[in-house]
Amino acid sequence: MRAVGQSVVRRDAAEKVTGRAVYVGDMKLPGMAYAKLLRSPYARARIVSIDTSRACAMAGVLCVLTSEDLKGIDPYFGPVLKDQPILAAGEVRFQGEPVAAVAAIDERTAAAALERIEVVYDPLPAVMTLDEALAPGAPLVHETPPRANGMFSDVKNLIARASNVVHEFHYQHGEPTEELFQSPELETFDDVTTYPMIHHVMMEPYGCVADWQGDQVTLHAATQHPHPVRRDIAQIFGLPLSRVRIVVPYIGGAFGGKSYAKVEPIAAALSRACKLPVRLCLTAEEAFQTGRKPSARVRVRTAVSPDGRIVARHIEVYYILGAYADVGPRVTQKAGYTALGPYRIPNARIDAYGVYTNTVPAIAYRGYGVPQTALAYELQMDRIARSLGVDPIELRMRNVLRRGDRYTPSDSDFDADLPGDLAELRHGMPERGSRGPWTGQGMAVTLKTTIAPSLSQAMVRVHADGSASLFTSTVEIGQGAKTALAQIVAETLDIDMAKVQVILADTALTPYDQATSSSRSTTLNGYACQAAARDVIRQLRDIAAGSWGVAPEAVKAEGGIVKAADRQMSYGEALDSLFGMTGAEVVGVGTYAGAMGNVPLSGITPFWEIGLVGATVEIDHDTGETSVHELVSVADVGKAINPALAEAQDEGAVMMGLGHALWEEMVYADGQLVNGNLVDYRVARMGDLPARLESIMVENEDGPGPYGAKGIGEGATCAVATAVAAAVNQAAGIEIRDLPLHPERVWRALRDHALTAQQEGK
């Protein structure tokens, strides 16, 4: 192979290192207005009145919108439930919720106009925590049950009821777990973990330029989901899909945060109202008020046989979804379903709940609910290992799923070699003989499904000179899709990579693609791209066969040439031969369509994404500070289309997870988010890079994507924080079950541990 498997230079390299790559905030259209949003200061309040007259009267202000001005449209959005108003209507449900929007001649004028809008609020009691939300008689975040969006075929059992529990997922197989937990032959473990609210901190905050002209609108949007956003905009404004165009420029990081509609509906409403292009770019602080990872409380109970085999597991998961559901119900059922972990478990029960609170909405986040549950089941695996006196990797070896196993009896076959992956970790992270007294090692192995069913379509045009253009709606969010997809098409067409152009994510031009998310683009969109390229080859062979009067099977396509026996012609000559003149093209189309089936989630996952990370840490006994010396990730990639980029993405996933492990937590006090900015919210910086960070690639060519590829964008993120927590627990002999592992938490655990030891000594 000459393109696939090569670490070729990124397609976007020159643009990105010279500052010429265009992001939404860099765009300027003729006559463009600039927008700012007024946000609620209260976690929950009734809006008594809004007076915009002084803002409207300001020089330079082009329009001011409140929910009253959105009467002619369907002013709600949300990928699962249409529960989120474009602008708060009657009630605000979280501090930071947009209440009014201004478009003006520049951002400064728009910001000044916000201060002239007078809103009278009547504060109401808010539910800020899981316990408050579930308490009997708790105030309801949504008093009337929201409407379903209908976008996802796999979301069933949406509960149309007035409750803070917005969605539930239940599952069981085998014997009732409760009975097995009482069995005298088995040892039962019972743990509760909590996982905090975490922000994406994409370096480019949210942004959109909306350009409404006549009866159509173009949105230049920093979104991972151009087609779903097109659908939302069409529904909100009552437009045909063909009159809504979503164009995605380069995106400055997303990590799930730019999934589905966020700022696009309000930007479109502003442009429609003032009949000008409008740019709405949020600040980094506003990004904190737009979305976060679902926080969670997880209880896991496991019964284990004396020889260390899991006999039964019951996991209860509560995801705290905030004020609006966004994708929370899908996280609840999808990550709820895989919350048993990557193990053979003959008797299992799952109860997962998604719960509304008056906090920033929980949205998609790299890992999609798995890191939250992995913290519970993997720390418990360590406790089981200690209790049985078994090595933690050995305990996993005894229990992990084998290739061809079924995660649950009615699911599809498991497709990875987990014992092999564990062996790689053991080999790649040998125990250190010289470990100090406050040094520990930990590991975690996790399991994630990808979005299912999902759909991608792609189009390849072969031009008259034999070069080719790929049209597909994958978004380049930094992962390198533009490069990897070019490699797949060049390889399949068997032409030089330099001859392949890639046109991404413009819904007016590029075919349907459901999502740049869920680790799916290279694998599943790549599948569609490869199919489109194969379709082109098939057509070229047919043309040559017709021209030569031979069977199509006798024609081979190689190196940009079709040939049969002693005859050959270039792709361009083949086209000329068909049309009798030059310039014609052949267009190939390809589709990846996921399948529904009789599996618990109804969509069959096309691959199982593995996360496997080991960590070595050292604790400062006096301060509780954790130093991470070593992070090793085993990336089970199937086939690395571009090994350097695959490695880069995995390293990035690990370091993002290091922030989740040690520092990241959105803190609320009195209904207010108190650290929603980059001064008070700490992410991993360059100085935090461990002495050793290594990504070990496993290429078994066992994925469903081109050349055996499977997704890897999220794997390590699911496992790393838990691996670090496990290492901290081992280093200090403590049992921390909550993140992040900031020095105070570790210090308190050390102190409690010492006090307990002292008391037991008496």
Partner 1 sequence: MSSLHGFDLRMQVNGQPVELEVGYNELLIDVLRDRLGLTGTKRSCDMEVCGVCTVLVDGQMVSGCTTLAWEARGKNVETIEGLAEGDKLHPIQEAFVEHNGFQCGFCTPGMILSTKALLKEYPQPDKATIQWYLHGNICRCTGYKKIIDSVEAAAQAQAQTAGAD
- Does the footprint of partner 1 cover residue 543 (CB under 8 A)? no
Least distance in angstroms from the C-beta of 201 to partner 1: 6
The span from the first CA to the last CA of the chain, in angstroms, equals 70
| Total residues binding partner 1 (CB under 8 A) | 56
Looking at the Cβ atoms of 351 and 688, the one nearer to partner 1 is 688
Q: How far is the CB of 564 from partner 1 (least distance, A)?
A: 42
CB 448, CB 368: distance < 8 Å: yes
Q: Which of 1, 2, 22, 387 binds partner 1 (CB under 8 A)?
A: 22
And the tokens for 643? Answer: 């090994």
Interaction residues for partner 1, span 648-677 (CB under 8 A): 648-649, 651-656, 677
**CB-wise, 195 or 250, nearer to partner 1?**
250
CB of 204 to partner 1, least distance (A): 5
Cα of 234 vs its chain's centroid, Å = 24
Is residue 54 near partner 1 by the rule CB under 8 A?
no
| Contact status: 392 vs partner 1 (CB under 8 A) | no
Question: Of the candidates 679, 759, 761, 762, which one interacts with partner 1 according to CB under 8 A?
Answer: 679
Rule CB under 8 A: say whether 283 interacts with partner 1.
Answer: yes
Decide: is 226 part of the binding site for partner 1 (CB under 8 A). Answer: no
Closest approach, Cβ 650 to partner 1, in A, equals 8
Closest to 485 (Cα-Cα) out of 529, 440, 424: 529
Task: Encode burial over 541-572: b for 16+ CB neighbours within 10 A, e otherwise.
Answer: bbbbbebbeeeeeebebeebbbbbeeebbbbb
Does 161 contact partner 1 by CB under 8 A? no
- Residue 678 touches partner 1, criterion: CB under 8 A: yes
User: Which residues sit opposite 692 in a β-bridge?
Assistant: 630
Cβ 703 to partner 1 shortest distance, Å: 22
By CB under 8 A, tell whether 554 contacts partner 1: no
CB atoms within 10 A of CB 20: 9
Answer whether 189's CB lies under 8 Å from 369's CB. no
- Supply the minimum distance, in Å, between the C-beta of residue 525 and partner 1: 18
The answer to the question of residue 693 lying near partner 1 (CB under 8 A) is: yes
As a whole number of angstroms, the distance between CA 613 and CA 634 comes to: 6
State the nearest-atom distance from the C-beta of 280 to partner 1, in Å. 14
Q: State yes or no: residue 497 binds partner 1 (CB under 8 A).
A: no
105 contacts partner 1 (rule: CB under 8 A):
no
Judge contact between 335 and 370, C-beta under 8 A.
Answer: yes
Q: Which is nearer to partner 1, 44 or 258 (CB)?
A: 258
**19 counts as binding partner 1 under rule CB under 8 A:** yes
Instruction: Please provide the DSSP assignment of 266-322 as one string.
Output: HHHHHHHHHTS-EEEE--HHHHHTT-BPPEEEEEEEEEE-TTS-EEEEEEEEEEEEE
714 is catalytic: yes
Residues 241-260 that bind partner 1 (CB under 8 A): 250-255
Does residue 615 interact with partner 1 by CB under 8 A?
no
**Which phi and psi (to 5°) does residue 184 adopt?**
-70, -20
Residue 637: how many other CB atoms lie within 10 Å: 31
Given 29, 148, 165, 284, the residue binding partner 1 (CB under 8 A): 284
> Which among 23-31, 89-97, 660-668, 753-761 is the span making contact with partner 1, rule CB under 8 A?
23-31
By C-alpha distance, which of 317, 326, 292, 298 is closest to 155?
326
Check residue 5 and give left, alpha or beta (phi > 0: left; psi -120 to 50: alpha): left
Binding of partner 1 at residue 625 (CB under 8 A)? no
Closest CA to 219 of 229, 227, 228, 209: 209
Looking at residues 507 to 536 of the shown chain, list those that interact with partner 1 (rule: CB under 8 A): none
Query: What region does 247 belong to: left with phi over 0, alpha with psi -120 to 50, or beta?
Result: beta
Interface positions, 425-484, toward partner 1 (CB under 8 A)? 477-480
Question: Which of residues 23 and 438 has its CB atom nearest to partner 1 in the complex?
Answer: 23
Which of 115, 714, 735, 760 does the annotation list as catalytic?
714
Q: Residue 201 interacts with partner 1 (CB under 8 A)?
A: yes
- 3-state percent breakdown (helix, strand, coil) of the chain, nearest 5: 30, 25, 40
Q: What is the rounded distance in angstroms from the CA atom of residue 376 to the CA atom of residue 725?
A: 11
Closest to partner 1 by CB, 200 vs 349, is 200
Measured between alpha carbons, how far is 439 from 431 in angstroms, rounded to an integer?
Answer: 11
Q: Could you list the active site residues?
A: 714
Note the residues at the interface with partner 1 (CB under 8 A): 9-10, 12-23, 25-26, 200-205, 250-255, 281, 283-285, 477-480, 644-645, 648-649, 651-656, 677-679, 683-687, 689, 693
